[in-house]
Structure 1
Amino acid sequence: MTATPHPESDCVDFVLSVLNTLDTCETSAKTVDEAFGLLADQRRRLFLEVMRTYGESITLPDAAEEVAVRETGRNVSNISAECVHEVYISLYHDHLPRLVDVGLLEYDQERDLVFPVALE
């Protein structure tokens, strides 16, 4: 059986790169699984990307708006308030707690501010 080239060779290259990196660091399998679990969700990756881009505290509503922009590829003026609200709710109830629990972000609920702790 002859292997045919896979159309997503970028994915293969990325996986091989990650595996090579894992070979050179001393990280437990549990830690690797937890890290990949955190990065498995696109919205969570976009949220982390937003926080890295800003590099300082921003309000969760502003973060939700920016995540919605990146998810849709549209200007914020072309995104419905319902869409941004849905992103906010998912960040607040799902993604933010996970990232706070592992120490990547901090959250001041009283001021609705998110701080990039380990992203700097």
Structure 2
Amino acid sequence: MSDSSPQPVAELSERQRSSSRNLLRTLADERRRTTLTVLADASTPIDLRTVARRVATHETSDGVTTERIEDVHVSLHHIHLPALADVDLASYEPNRGVVVDAVEDAEPILP
């Protein structure tokens, strides 16, 4: 029977440490955490405009403007969804503007 307890950090390979650092760096951004929450609550595939609207709504206590949604849309497309895809938390097809897959339950990885 194998022990499934986590490895001590000192025993992790450089690749594993690098991967962990990338994941933590990615999750440090509040918009990415909000995006994961939105994606976990939605069924995929989901249109980027829908994701942007929902993220903007989560981030704004006042009414959400079209300009705010567009700002969120641009940042998701160029920065946040590619970063989430790089650490395998989402699969984004930028040419179609669609998130085709994402972690099903983001709660265990979100602070």
Please give the TM-score of this superposition, normalised by the length of structure 1.
0.68
Of residues 58, 68, 81 in structure 2, which corresponds to 1:83? 68
**Percent identity for Structure 1 against Structure 2:** 33
In structure 2, how many angstroms separate the alpha carbons of the residues matched to 1:73 and 1:37? Answer: 26
Cα distance per residue 1:57-86 (max 9 Å; x no partner): 110010000000001134xxx211110000
Matching of residues 39-50 of structure 1 within 5 Å? 39-50=27-38
Kindly report the root-mean-square deviation, in angstroms, between the aligned alpha carbons of the 2 structures: 1.7
Higher RCO structure (Cα 8 Å, ≥6 apart):
2
Larger radius of gyration: 1
Cα distance per residue 1:59-115 (max 9 Å; x no partner): 0010000000001134xxx21111000000000010011112222212233431102
In structure 1, how many angstroms separate the alpha carbons of the residues matched to 2:20 and 2:90? Answer: 19
1:52 touches 1:116 (CA, 8 Å); kept in 2? no
Give the equivalent residue in structure 1 for 2:107. Answer: none
The residue type equivalent to 2:94 in the other structure is Q
Say which structure is richer in helix.
1
The residue type equivalent to 1:97 in the other structure is P
- Unpaired stretches in structure 2, ≥5 consecutive residues: 105-111
Task: State the Cα distance separating 1:116 from its structure 2 match.
Answer: 2.4
Residues 25 and 58 (structure 1), Cα distance of their counterparts in 2 relative to 1, 3 Å cut: same
